[in-house]
Amino acid sequence: MAICITSTKGGVDKTTLTANLGAYLADLGQTALLVDADPQPTLSSFFPLRHRASGGLTRLMVEAATADVISQTTLERLDLVYSDDPDGKLRDAVDGRVRLKHLLGRPPFAQYDIILIDTQGAVGPLQDAAVAAADILLSPIPPEILSAREFVRGTVTMLERLRPMAFLGAPIGPLRGILYRLDRSRDARRIAEELRREAYLPSKGAITILETAIPASVVYREAATYRTPVHRFDRRRGATPSALDTLEALVAELFPHLKTSPTSSGE
Ligand SMILES: Nc1ncnc2c1ncn2[C@@H]1O[C@H](COP(=O)(O)OP(=O)(O)OP(=O)(O)O)[C@@H](O)[C@H]1O
Ligand SMILES: [Mg+2]
């Protein structure tokens, strides 16, 4: 099962969300693979590595070679295909936009419980390939109604443009929007409800807005500085949801079949 964290915008916490969701799932006992499909390789260095493979996404996508493209992070059960500058080479491949999907469906990738693909915040062949490879899409939404509407418009356009991929055996998965960097001045529930009404029909039901929202909090940046999963860093329970509460709620919504408390505290 593959999930692609994507947006038509940059700087909307995609990488932070991909890394931390992957680490949280790995702590739940799932085998997880992070795939960095952003030429700016932020996800690739988010967690320290214990094994660095000799190749990354370029080798995988351009040569369709799967040998030694999987690196291991220092976190148990969390692996990585790092980004090694695919600088447009993808465009040369006739099957470019569906190649990643077909590769990830085979060993050694098929063994993972979950594959999480991070993308760049710009439309392009690599973003298309990442979106096509996923069973579901997860998109951060700005917590402000005008930008959120713009998000819905941009996303509907992207989904419409990619819809014909179904003819190539890569139907585009349903999209879950998540409000991010929410502060107390915003009424998340009201924005979410308004967006639900506005997104559902134009997207023909393809876009749904999650109940879980990500609060604005310095812990996400702090944890990243220490190269540590944020749920290990911020475990407090209280009025504002901690990162642990947030990830627990997010996973329960995205993957209802999973039990959602980490098996190891990881200290
Ligand atoms: N919930 C949060 N509250 C406050 N700041 C956050 C939160 N999540 C992430 N950040 C910070 O926001 C910044 C941007 O995050 P991130 O790099 O994940 O975005 P991105 O969408 O991957 O950007 P790009 O499009 O450049 O790849 C980072 O400095 C990150 O630490
Ligand atoms: Mg990023």
| Ligand 1 mutation pick, 9, 12, 13, 228, max ligand atoms within 8 A of CB | 13
> Is the pLDDT confidence value at 19 over 90?
yes
Residues 6+ apart with CB under 8 A from 116: 2, 3, 4, 5, 18, 21, 22, 25, 32, 33, 34, 35
d(CA 129, CA 229): 27
Mean pLDDT (the chain) is 88
Q: What is the pLDDT of residue 266?
A: 45
Q: What is the pLDDT of residue 86?
A: 59
d(CA 190, CA 213): 12
pTM: predicted TM-score of the whole model, two decimal places: 0.93
| Range of weakest confidence among 27-31, 64-68, 187-191, 220-224 | 187-191
Query: Per residue in 89-108, pLDDT tens?
Result: 666 667 778 999 999 999 99
Find out whether 182 and 188 touch, Cβ atoms under 8 Å: yes
Atom of ligand 1 nearest to the CA of 9: 25
Domain 2-246 fold: Rossmann fold (3.40.50)
* Tokens, residue 225: 């500085």
Three-class DSSP labels, the chain: CEEEECCCCCCCCHHHHHHHHHHHHHHCCCCEEEEEECCCCCHHHCCCEEECCCCCHHHHHHCCCCCCCCEEECCCCEEEECCCCCCCHHHHCCCHHHHHHHHHCCCCHHHCCEEEEEECCCCCHHHHHHHHHCCEEEEEECCCHHHHHHHHHHHHHHHHHHHHHHHHCCCCCCEEEEECCECCCCCHHHHHHHHHHHHHCCCCCCEEECCCCCECCCHHHHHHHCCCCHHHHCCCCCCCCCHHHHHHHHHHHHCCCCCCCCCCCCC
Query: Per residue in 46-86, pLDDT tens?
Result: 999 999 999 999 889 888 888 899 999 999 999 999 998 75
Give the residue whose CA is nearest to atom 31 of ligand 1.
Answer: 221
**For residue 19, how far is its CA from the centre of ligand 2 (angstroms)?**
10
d(CA 127, CA 125): 6
Ligand number, closest to the Cα atom of 19 = 1
> Is the pLDDT confidence value at 204 over 80?
no
Question: Taking the domains of the chain in order of start, what are their residue ranges?
Answer: 2-246
Tell which wins on pLDDT, 244 or 234: 244
> Is the pLDDT confidence value at 252 over 50?
yes
**For residue 15, how far is its CA from the centre of ligand 1 (angstroms)?**
7
